[in-house]
Amino acid sequence: MLTFLDARAKILDGVARLPSERVSLADGCGRVLAEPLVAERPLPPFSQSAMDGYALRLGDLAAPPFRLPVASEESRAGKPAPVLPSGAACRIFTGAEVPRGADTVVMQEDVAREGDFIVLASHPRTGAHIRAAGEDIQPGQEAIAAGTRLHPGHLSLAASLDRGDLVVARRPRVAIVCTGDELRAPGAPGGPASIPNSNGVALAALVRQVGGEPRVLPPVGDDLDATAAALTEALAGSDLVLTVGGVSVGDHDVVRPALERAGVTLDFYKVAIKPGKPLVFGRRDAGAAITRVLGLPGNPASAVTTFVLFAAPLLRALQGDAAPIPLLLPARLGGVVRHKPGRLEFARVTLERRGPDLVAVPFANQASGATTTTGWATGLALVPLESGDLSEGATVDVLQLGDV
């Protein structure tokens, strides 16, 4: 069996970013920037006031008390600033352009108004409460690096730089093939031995969460010919094919031979992790087009865990994400984890704050078929393969499922 890190390295080896496309700013959230966003204008675009108050020229202030007349014209947001008359102050509002000639703004709380005059409590400093043109970013400066997964703050910055669209990586196209004679659509009628196909729903949602476009094919039974036909259909036009179930060594596990029949070259089978040991990885090269295939185990916890550990980084890498692997956070265990040495375990936990500590509370039921704890988990705690049982309070690395 491959180690977890070796398996992930093989899956990510040689992955190149998919072609780019241009999308509107409104559609940019969650996409990965394909080329750096370079400022074409300064930000702020002009010197502006950070406060409501009065703009003035320090040279106009004589000995205290500092008293100046207020000019008849004011400076307000959205309007060109007036010229500051000599020896006067100009009423100004937050975001407004600083009048030509002014070198400081005194906020209104520090000013006493006496009719058409103001009196300052103290001598202000040069540049106070002024956002200078270009102090945030200068033309030609990189605002957002290529490979950045865009969040709302990035979109705000791009909009501030007057960009209406962005160049991002194309979304990976992911086909999902769930196998098993027992599967039916959730809510559909079925025999007493049938079960709803929960994996298809979960994996499609995870694909969307990581930025891909899922295509869920109808479940296919445990038949070699039917599975090979379904896989041939799935491979067409896909960047990644996820199969679910049928990858182990049972008499009815036909996915591996079906993949080979469909033209997929298998790279490895089995990884020393729990859950998710029977994981298959391969690829089909069709000229310039490469389709990667991950054969996930059929148990719900195993399917979700192996997607998080292997498919998610692969899909991020296909989008050119500069950080395809999510960060691990240190946490204290909020309970005991039973563990037999030999495989790296990803224990399902809920994460909570207790004072300054991040605490990972493990579920008692860590069975790979447990859909309850798979649904309730907010993180995966890593239990080293050489470890025995871990006691409450032990320090572990945790992957937050929300970061996937």
Residue 60 confidence (pLDDT) above 80: yes
Query: Cα-Cα-Cα-Cα dihedral of 248, 397, 387, 375, to 10°?
Result: -40
Tokens in use for 224?
A: 């070699």
pLDDT band at 246 (very low <50, low <70, confident <90, very high): confident
* Average pLDDT value over all residues in the chain: 95
**Residue with token string 């049982």:** 389
Task: Average the pLDDT over 248-258 and give the result.
Answer: 83
- The β-bridge relationship of strands 183-184 and 195-196 is parallel
User: For the segment 125-137, what is each residue's pLDDT rounded down to a tens digit?
Assistant: 999 999 999 999 9
Record: fold of 328-403? Beta-clip (2.40.340)
Separation between Cα atoms, residue 84 and residue 102, nearest integer Å: 7
pLDDT band at 337 (very low <50, low <70, confident <90, very high): very high
What is the SS3 string spanning 237-271? CCCEEEEECCCCCCCCCCHHHHHHHCCCEEEEECE
Q: Taking the CB of residue 312, how many other CB atoms lie within 10 A of it?
A: 23
pLDDT of residue 288: 75
pLDDT of residue 208: 98
State pTM to two decimals.
0.91
| Short-list 217, 63, 52, 58, CA closest to 129 | 52
Tokens in use for 372?
A: 């309850």
Task: Average the pLDDT over 373-390 and give the result.
Answer: 97
User: For the segment 173-214, what is each residue's pLDDT rounded down to a tens digit?
Assistant: 999 999 999 999 999 998 888 999 999 999 999 999 999 999
Backbone angles phi, psi at 32, to 5 degrees: -105, 125
Give the CATH number of domain 48-131.
2.170.190.11
pLDDT band at 286 (very low <50, low <70, confident <90, very high): confident
User: For the segment 143-155, what is each residue's pLDDT rounded down to a tens digit?
Assistant: 999 999 999 999 9
Residues 15, 317 contacting (CB under 8 angstroms): yes
User: For the segment 215-230, what is each residue's pLDDT rounded down to a tens digit?
Assistant: 999 999 999 999 999 9
What is the SS3 string spanning 292-347? EEEEECCCHHHHHHHHHHHHHHHHHHHCCCCCCCCCEEEEEECCCECCCCCCEEEE
Domain chopping of the chain, boundaries: 4-19+170-318, 21-43+135-169, 48-131, 328-403
Separation between Cα atoms, residue 301 and residue 203, nearest integer Å: 11
Task: Average the pLDDT over 283-302 and give the result.
Answer: 92
Q: Hey, do 21-43+135-169 and 48-131 end up sharing a CATH topology, with the first three levels equal?
A: no
One CATH from 3.40.50.1980, 3.40.980.10, 3.40.1080.10, 3.10.28.10 for 4-19+170-318: 3.40.980.10
Separation between Cα atoms, residue 372 and residue 280, nearest integer Å: 25
Residue 249 confidence (pLDDT) above 80: no
Tokens in use for 104?
A: 């400081």
Record: fold of 21-43+135-169? Molybdopterin biosynthesis moea protein, domain 2 (3.90.105)
Element containing residue 198 per DSSP (H, E): helix 198-209
